Every structure is written in C-alpha cells, then in structure tokens.
Structure 1
C-alpha cells in the first residue's frame, strides 16, 4: 500500500477524464500544550503515511520531489515542509484542511487523486489541525517543486471534474452508534488516514473504486503486486485469522499466519509499526467485521486440464522445493512461523491471482525491520537461478500441494513478471 499505491487514483482520474483523532469519533478541538498537539500531529502523519510520497529516500523530510512514473507521464510529489516559498509554510490551517477535505490546493486548483483526498476527507478538523501543526514544526526544505511531466490530455486538471463527480464524496467520518468505540476507531483509521481502499478495492470500467467491490482486492497498476482481499472470507485469510494474528502482521510485519512483503512492507515500516497497539487492534477489529465475498479463492473441483497441468509440473516443482525451499518452509509446507511463514493452507498462496508467489520466488524480499521484529529473516531471490519453467513448476507445486486450492502457473506468467519493478 504505500508510495505508488497513491498513484492508483491518479491513473483512474486521468482515464476517466479522457473518456477523529486517530480515535474514531469526531474529535473535539485538540487540548493540551502546543508540543502535545505537534506530537499528536506527528502520530497522525504516521497513520496517514505522509512520508511515503513526500520524502525522497535519503533526502530531507517532506521535501517532496519523488518521481512517480505513470503510463501518462511523470508525477512529482510536492514539498510539504514548513518552507514558506516552496513548501506549505505560508498556508493557514484552513488552507490545509481544505486540501485534505476537498482535494483543492491553496490557489483553488484541483489535486490529482494521487493525493488520497477521497479518503482524507474523512479526517476530522481537529486531526487536520494537529497534522498541520506538526508539518509547520518540521525543518523548512528549500527544494523547489517540479512541474509534472504529463502527456496531453492528462495535463489538463480541469478534466478531473469528471472523476470527482463520479467518485468523490466529501465529508468527515461519522461514527456508527450501533458499533463499539473500538470498531469506530478502526473504521476511522482504515477508511480515512489509512486510505486502505486505494489498493485493496477493485477498479471498475470507468477507473474508479467500485463500492460493490470494497476491500475485495486487486492488482496494483504499475507495481504488478496483488493487494489481497481484506474481507472476512478466504483470500487474505482474515475470516480465519485471530485478532492477535492480524495485529502481529500489521505491527511487526510478521505473524504466525504470514508476513508482509512488497509495497505492504513499506506501509508497515513507515506507518503501522508506529501506531499504538490499541489503534492497530481497532483496525483488526474493523477488518474482521467486513462482510465476506465469494470467488476470492476458487475451491470448485478442478477441470481435467488443470489437474493434468498440475500433475505435469509437480515432479519438477517438488524437486526444486525440496532443494531450495523445504529448509525454511518445511517439507510439509507448515513453515517455521513467525520467521518462515507457512505455505500449506496459506490463502495468499492460493489466491486466484498467482502474481505475489511468482514475484516472491523471482525477487525474494524481507519483511520490514520493525520495533517488534528488528532483524527479520528474508527470502532469497531465485530469478538468476531458476528458469521460467522452473519457477512456474515450483510455484505450481506450492499452490497445489498439501491440499492447497491454487491453479497451475505458466511459463508466460513468470516471464511477464521478470522485469517488473520491485515496488
């Protein structure tokens, strides 16, 4: 979910144009000293993962300038430091709230939805003011903003009016009185600052998030990672996961049920690990309450072709697995959690999309280093060691062995992902 995840609505916007405190309930104005407000704002900025887009790795905090390549050109993130010339130092708290709530800059220009204002609109005024106070407390960065290098007609911001009409509904989060305080706090985080729908909701034909497919997952454009369903059914396993397992995954990056890799590893590293355990638990409570949907993992009887293809690849796949994978993930696929996640009965392995397991075999990776898991164990890359056929065989094996319901993977699918960007 991070960095480029924020580009998804931008892609959608251009396509369409061309055709509580962190506590859930609406908050009272922040009390306490200015230092306390700033500290609270820093916490909320972490919850919103602002650093992800607005800081180039290794450069000054919130100086912007991070290049994001898109099919429509290059988008450069703005400077949001306290600099009065190039940042937002000359903005008022009202200007900042308008940007978050309405998706409009200080001069009234429409923001590309790469800035997730469709989610941030739910942020309360008190929380917006706290984030603003924190940003004003950061060191000014004099780096000028770069113009976006977008091709016509995607450089015409007025065309964003069409996207906003279809997909943007401004309004702060309203607590559901039928739910608990904890559930409401989780809903506020997930629906608002966390902007989780931007990756975990399917994209409709017009390039927007379809309400009927909320949190059902989908392929993240340009990144070629699959954001799994968060509904309480089978794909992400949340229907079977305990609250503690979900909290462990989001807070530490690993749990007894799995580990985060790819874009989600960055989200945990920059955002979730800094949230209080109470807030992460509230997120888990809310996610567990999401209604389940069918079709996330196909458990219907396999066709003769699928069975024959799985059987054809099984001997080579098992040979590679036993030689390269079993030492960590065990011969029976049960793994050695939390360091080495299980593959047997792992819903992320069995998803209808095989993108993530293919990428993990090709590219490897590490869960994020977090306060709770400072020295994570990693997965080595096999792109240079295994051919397309061999990767397809071993991924097919882990998707179909030990009672897993996954389908076979083809050489073509593997080859298409060899050159995919890491994030």
Structure 2
C-alpha cells in the first residue's frame, strides 16, 4: 500500500471514529462552521464553551502535535498542561487506542480551518480552578484502553467498545455524584442534563425491556422505531453520530446494551383520581389525534406512549418539556420524515400540564405523579433558556 493510500485510510478511519464520538454535537454551533467550537454546554456547575478543533494554527489545534492531541483526548490534559473538565469525555475516550486517536487527528487535519478564538473558561470561582481536577481524576477517572472479554462474542465486544469508548453513552445516561462523577454502580441507568432526561438504557426490567435488539438498532440508525422517535439531545446524537455508523456496528451496540440488566422498576405510584381524570380529558382533547386513544401512536412516526422510555422514568423533565415546548424529531436518510409535536404551553396552565403528564405517566407506566410546582419550574426553566 502506498503512503498516500495509507494516509487516506487513516483519514477515513478517523472520520468514522469522529462521527462515533459525536464530535460535531459539542464542537459545532447549529448552523455554524463545522468543529469551530463556541457552543455553550450546560453542566450542573455552570456553562462551558466548546473549543475550536479545526486545524487553524492560532485558535484551533493545527499547531498541536499528535502526542499533545492524544494526551488531551485520553488523559484530559490540555496542550498548556492544564486539566480539562469531563464535559470533554476523556474518561470514555481513554478506552480508545493510540491509533484510534491518531486517526481522528488525521481526519481533523483535513477539515477546513476556521479562525475562531473561544474562551472556554466560564465557570465561577472556585470551579474555574482546573487544578481541582487532579483530585476529581483520582476519584472518577480510570485510564486504560478497552479490553475485550474473551467470554463474549466479537459482536458484543465491538458494541461494548463503541458504547464505553468513543460513543461515551454513559456521559449522559449514567447518574452522577454531587461532584459530577459517574455512579458506576448504576451505569447507564439514566440521568437528567441540559433540560432532557437521558433514560435508563439497560435491559432487563427497565423501560427498554419491550425493545428487541432490532428495535434498538433501528432507533440508533434512523431515529425512529415502532415505539419511539428521537428528539432533543438524542436527536442530535442520531443525526450527527449513530446514523452515520455501519449497520454491523449499530447492531453490535444494540446487542451489548440489551445484555446489560438494570434495576427492577418501582411499584406503581398512586396518583389522585381527580388529577388523572383531568389529565385524561386534556389527553383526549389535545393528544389522542396523534398518539391515539390507546397511546400507541404510529409506528416509526408518532411515539408509542406505552413503551416510550422517557414516559416511564422517575424524572418527568422530558415529558413536561415536550408538552410545554413541543419537539422536533430527527430526520435521517433512512427515515426522512421527522414529525414535530406542537407546543401546548401557551394553551395549558401549570395544573393542566401536570395533570396530563401524570395521566400519561400513570395510565401507561408506573412513574410518579407530576405536581403543579414541577410543571411551573419546568416552564420557568424553558423561559430562562429562551431568554
């Protein structure tokens, strides 16, 4: 193989891995120049801003060596020696090999350089003291590449590598401690961030229990399946990452995830019957035309509320957000129609929003009832984000 052929192969591998790692979601402002940074990223501790990772030598990473890039991705240390925050998911990228990272760098070197100086440090004192990450890393960061489990199939191990490594699924779907580290004992069992619920994606008796491997693979590849449609942050993941992966890799991820057992669901909650009746009336008036009276929706278009993971989860944030603000589902090459749900926040007061959310979550699930105060707080949070 010629040197040029080797270079091209490395770039293509790097392009694929960059898609698997969903670099575009964080490092590109929607509608902006690819990978030029500047996108605000909400964290429980404040807002960070993604850096420019184009090959511009002054404001991007064009002057970085391959070694400096590797240390940043797999060890969380910047070129200037300062520590990165785990919003850049180096605890997961550490599972990639040095060659993986070198290939990503080869690809990034081919994108159009953009001169865009970004100030990432926007956390308040004392959180802006990056040296504190030394202690955080001792608590929550385990370096080391991914190692296959000999007792598992090649497909399972490929899925484990993608989920645990470049895909960094746990960065969103694993609960966090008060310091923002993963609760490894509850891996992939759900977390709320940036105003969306990343649900429990383990199998067993969790909210994805009815989903087959093929259901999960279809969702990751197209953004739609017979149960659900991806919107919000997960819509971006599908659009910019998983839809661009090969069918075998998507199947491998689904195979791995369906092999992880999570906790048993809690007992059915008891909601006030008057609230349920009020919620049922709102549902019949505003929701049943699309989602049907039985909540089944339309396969591959309108979510099935009886099987949607975000309906049957403890945190009602996503349900409230979608009722109040509406949602645009993702459109992909294989599912080019991405239906949108209209906003009803202008039409419903907080008590009505809480009632219909409680009805949906209790009639088709076993989730806790939603209070009027929760609906009010979510409305205020959405207004704050808009302003």
Task: State the TM-score bracket (shorter-chain normalisation).
Answer: over 0.9
Q: Higher mean Cα deviation, 145-154 or 323-332?
A: 145-154
What's the Cα RMSD here?
2.0
Query: Which residue, 180, 191, 194 being the options, matches 1:218?
Result: 191
Larger RCO: 1 or 2 (CA < 8 Å, sep 6+): 1
Which blocks of at least 5 consecutive residues in structure 1 are unaligned? Answer: 1-29
Deviation for aligned residue 1:147: 5.1
Partner of 1:386: 348
Partner of 1:5: none
**Distance in 1 between the 2:362 and 2:130 partners?**
48
Which blocks of at least 5 consecutive residues in structure 2 are unaligned? Answer: none
C-alpha contact 1:234 1:347 (8 A) present in aligned 2: no
Q: 5 Å matches for 1:211-250?
A: 211-220=184-193, 223-237=194-208, 239-250=209-220
C-alpha contact 1:247 1:281 (8 A) present in aligned 2: yes
Partner of 2:323: 361
Partner of 1:282: 252
Cα deviation code 1:119-178 (max 9, x no counterpart): 000111221111000011111112223252332212211111110111111111111111
In the alignment, structure 1 residue 417 sits paired with structure 2 residue 378: yes
Partner of 1:119: 92
**Distance in 2 between the 1:298 and 1:170 partners?**
35
C-alpha contact 2:227 2:307 (8 A) present in aligned 1: no
Partner of 2:339: 377
In the alignment, structure 1 residue 266 sits paired with structure 2 residue 227: no
Cα deviation code 1:347-387 (max 9, x no counterpart): 43222222221221111112111111112111111000111
Partner of 1:254: 224
Instruction: Call closer, same or farther: CA 1:361–1:108 in 2, change over 3 Å.
Output: same
Q: 5 Å matches for 1:46-61?
A: 46-61=19-34
**Distance in 2 between the 1:128 and 1:411 partners?**
48
In the alignment, structure 1 residue 324 sits paired with structure 2 residue 295: no
Instruction: Call closer, same or farther: CA 1:405–1:391 in 2, change over 3 Å.
Output: same
SS of the counterpart of 1:290? coil
C-alpha contact 2:48 2:121 (8 A) present in aligned 1: yes
Give the alignment's TM-score, normalised by structure 1. Answer: 0.85
SS of the counterpart of 1:226? strand
C-alpha contact 2:207 2:307 (8 A) present in aligned 1: no
Partner of 1:16: none
Instruction: Call closer, same or farther: CA 1:235–1:71 in 2, change over 3 Å.
Output: closer
- What is the number of equivalent residue pairs in this alignment? 382
Instruction: Call closer, same or farther: CA 1:145–1:355 in 2, change over 3 Å.
Output: closer
Give the alignment's TM-score, normalised by structure 2. Answer: 0.93
C-alpha contact 1:103 1:110 (8 A) present in aligned 2: yes
**Distance in 2 between the 1:178 and 1:71 partners?**
38
